[in-house]
Amino acid sequence: MSYCSSDIKRVLYTEQELDAKVSELAQIITDEYVDKRPIIVCILKGSVVFYAQLCKRIDCDMQMDFMVASSYLSGMESMGAVNIKKDLENDIAGRHVILVEDIIDSGNTLFKLKNLLNTRNPASVKIVTLLNKHDRREANIEADYCGFDIPNEFVVGYGLDYDEKYRNLPYVGVLKSEVYS
């Protein structure tokens, strides 16, 4: 039980289930990147818990980097712009990049972000996401590595928020609709 249990409809994945899945993903990434010295990018803030768990378990030489990005809404969206509030510190030319996402929903932000990074001539850009809402996809983008496919429900915890709340919950839970309606 936690401080806001009464806001949670049901637990989707426990901390143990999440950590086990993260270890599986880390092993796959380790095998694939062992000689590649990847730059592993945390897309703040939602990915921070997943990112920390994942990086601890990736057993190869790597660099950490951090980004804050958001999609422009309304009029700007048609221009395909992505608003970078904090950019990478590394030059990614010739490097293998792994983008770490908490959840892919419409995919719009990540689609634009990946296109932007590809203009910097990296050796490769791959995506790892903890959660995937496939039914909600609008952009033509898929994760290369995915933890769990989830139904179209609003989830919080393990880094995911509603209005900046619930990020520190150790599990992923479905938020009661009363909380946001």
Q: Interface with ligand IMP by CB under 6 A: which residues?
A: 46, 71, 101-110, 154-156, 160
Whats the size of the chain, residue-wise? Answer: 181
Report the partner that residue 62 touches, choosing among Mg ion, ligand IMP, none (CB closer than 5 to 8 A by kind).
none
Q: Which listed residue (105, 144, 149, 163) is catalytic? A: 105
Neighbours of 103 (CB within 10 A): 21
Q: How many whole angstroms from its chain centre is CA 103?
A: 5
Which of 46, 107, 147, 157 is in the footprint of Mg ion by CB under 5 A? 46
Gyration radius from the chain CA atoms: 16
Nearer to Mg ion, 7 or 102 (CB): 102
CB of 38 or CB of 107, closer to Mg ion: 107
Measured in whole angstroms, how far is the alpha carbon of residue 97 from the centre of its chain? 14
Integer angstrom CA distances of residue 82 from 53, 87, 137: 27, 12, 17
Minimum CB separation of residue 95 from ligand IMP in Å reads 23
Planar angle of CA 178, 109, 156, nearest 5 degrees: 30
# residues near Mg ion by CB under 5 A = 2
105 annotated active-site: yes
* Distance of closest approach, residue 63 Cβ to ligand IMP, in angstroms: 22
Least distance from C-beta 134 to ligand IMP, angstroms?
Answer: 11
Q: Which of 136, 112, 77 is nearest to 127 (CA)?
A: 112
Report the catalytic residues: 105
By the criterion CB under 5 A, which residues form the site for Mg ion? 46, 102
